[in-house]
Amino acid sequence: MAKVRLPTEDSLNVRAALIGVAAGYIAIFLLTPLIAVFAEALRNGVDGFIQAVSEKDALSAIELTLTVAAIAVPLNCVFGLAAAWAVAKHDFAGKALFVTLIDLPFSVSPVISGLIYVLLFGAQGYLGPALDILGIKVIYTVTGLVLATVFVTFPFVARELIPLMEEQGVSEEEAAISLGADGWQTFWHVTLPNVRWGLLYGVLLCNARAMGEFGAVSVVSGHIRGLTNTMPLHVEILYNEYNFAAAFAVASLLAFLALVTLVLKSVLEWRFAADIAASHRH
Amino acid sequence: MSLRIEHVTKKFGTLAAVDDVSLAIDKGEFMALLGPSGSGKTTLLRIIAGLELMESGALHFDGTDLSAVPARERRVGFVFQNYALFRHMTVARNISFGVDVLPRKRKPKRAEIKTKVEALLARMQLEGLGQRYPNQLSGGQRQRVALARALAIEPRILLLDEPFGALDAKVRKELRAWLRALHDDTRLTTVMVTHDQDEALAIADRVAILNEGRIEQVGTPGELKERPASAFVREFLGVA
């Protein structure tokens, strides 16, 4: 008897072609560059790699990138939670505009976001001279790097949480309040635990972008080695100096951090699958 | 605890969801608010709980004005239509939530809370399910957890929003009889919202029939069936 196909099952040829195209696409556009980064990084051997990433300016770039992420990510975690909570659990005038604004950093080119900061806080900017009197410098400082990174990575947490919170509705919050909980208890015991997985994803993505951001940071940084050079900027400098092996060595560290983020996300998804499903269903 | 609703009005935009409703509910009474969807019955229930604000009118619990008391201080046991159980908490923690959030000086000891939860689980025929999560329970079981959670705060009044709405017909009938028995046992003043006339007439001491935000008639099931006050009541109850 001939094997009967399910109505949604395609013939073997079609399946082979589709899988082939998908696999080829992933191989060319995702896998090859990734392998190339690591291959180039090790071109001068493990010693060359270690030397490149432990050089003084590289170490200070790594430290700066981690510092910027360590400030920007918690800030956006709090801002994103607050924004998502406001949008998903409340009704107010101008909500649609607010939601659009949250997405602004995604739709504006990062270079432009950086330029806006220069325009605002630069020596000739609107707020620059006033802040200068107060002794606050933004452009060409770590402060500027943090501000630009916060701007660019703002939507990640909020975007992750808004659909989830909207799906969950407000009935659990109402239940908590009618049982005598105050606003803080309701948020802490009901709202926040219900979105903890979404929040974690948002934070992981936000972190990956915060460490990898180039455009906006490049504009406000001034590329002062050892002071305002983050890892992506350091990669560019090394590359422009034809120091390819060192450039790829630092780049491979960034790629490695991104891979760790993805693996962490997958492990958490796998480990807590039932728990995550429960936060969607009821 | 008796409840007096006086000239309560609530508008959504220009539409009056609840239109000048007055109703007195006696201590220990089981009152059903019956009406088609959009008749304002759920809005009225949410106003009693403080989850919705009224535009005008007054609410009195045993003579004390409740209008300005926030929802969290009303000590109202509210059972939501979809139960609204805390999905990330065990059944036991769901039930003890209202006690857990009490300020420290009014909070009973841990052991006391545990005993209370066990007693409520037993009363709701949920023994042994305390460590389960809501998504591991059947509809009927969730219903009873929601009821136990509401009763745990020792409410002054119990409010039920379509409590059997999400259950199949057989479980519905069983729970109906069980809920009535529970009420006879506790004599807790109860207001239940339903669109099912059989349910309202079978379970409640008195039934208030709502239509387009107004009360058409209030009476015992017998009175309503024998002397429907309007064509709407007659038609809605299906009496010839």
DSSP for residue A9: P
Beta partners for residue B8, in sequence order? B21
Question: What's the gap in Å between the CA of A205 and the closest CA on chain B?
Answer: 24
Are B22 and B5 in contact by the 8 Å Cβ rule? The answer is: yes
| Cβ–Cβ under 8 Å, residues B156 and B163 | no
Task: Report CA-CA distances (Å) from A12 to A2, A4, A25, A142.
Answer: 14, 13, 20, 57
Query: Rounded CA gap, B170 and B67, in Å?
Result: 39
- What was the pLDDT predicted at B159? 96
Residues from chain B that touch A187, judged by Cβ atoms under 8 A, are none
- Per the CB < 8 Å rule, is B86 touching A175? yes
Contact A174 B98 (CB under 8 A): no
| Alpha-carbon span B112 to A30, nearest angstrom | 59
Please answer yes or no on whether B84 and A174 come within 8 Å at the CB atom: yes
| Nearest Cα residue to A64 out of A240, A237, A226, A250 | A226
If interface means Cβ-Cβ distance under 8 Å, which residues of chain A face chain B?
A: 171-172, 174-182, 185, 189-190, 193-194, 196, 275, 277-279, 281-282
Best A178, A182, A199 residue to mutate vs chain B (most B CBs within 10 Å): A178
Residue B192 scores a pLDDT above 90: yes
Question: Could you tell me which of A100, A240, A185 has the C-alpha nearest to residue B86?
Answer: A185
List per-residue pLDDT tens for chain A, 282 residues long: 566 778 787 788 888 999 999 999 999 998 999 999 999 888 888 888 888 888 888 889 999 999 999 999 999 999 999 999 999 988 899 999 999 999 999 888 989 888 888 888 877 778 877 788 887 777 788 888 898 999 999 999 999 999 999 999 899 999 999 999 999 999 999 999 999 888 988 999 899 899 988 888 888 887 777 778 889 999 999 899 998 888 999 999 999 988 888 888 888 888 777 777 777 654
Residue type present at position A22: A
CA atoms of B137 and B147, how far apart (whole Å): 14
Residue B146 amino acid letter = A
**Nearest chain B alpha carbon to A190:** B86
Q: Looking at the complex, report in whole angstroms how far the Cα of residue B233 sits from the nearest Cα belonging to chain A.
A: 32
Q: Which tokens belong to A128?
A: 């620059």
Per the listing, tokens 């409703």 go with B21
Mapping DSSP to helix (H, G, I), strand (E, B) and coil, where does residue B207 land? strand
Residue of A nearest to B154 (CA): A179
B101, B151, B156, B159: which to substitute to probe chain A, counting the most A Cβ within 10 Å?
B101
User: Looking at beta carbons, which pairs linking B197-205 to residues 24 or more positions away fall under 8 Å?
Assistant: B197/B34, B197/B236, B197/B237, B197/B238, B199/B32, B199/B164, B199/B172, B200/B32, B200/B34, B201/B225, B201/B237, B202/B176, B203/B30, B203/B32, B203/B176, B203/B179, B204/B30, B204/B31, B204/B32, B205/B29, B205/B30, B205/B31
Q: How far is A236 from chain B (nearest CA, A)?
A: 46
Task: Calculate Rg over the CA atoms of chain A.
Answer: 23
- Retrieve residue A25's tokens: 């696409």
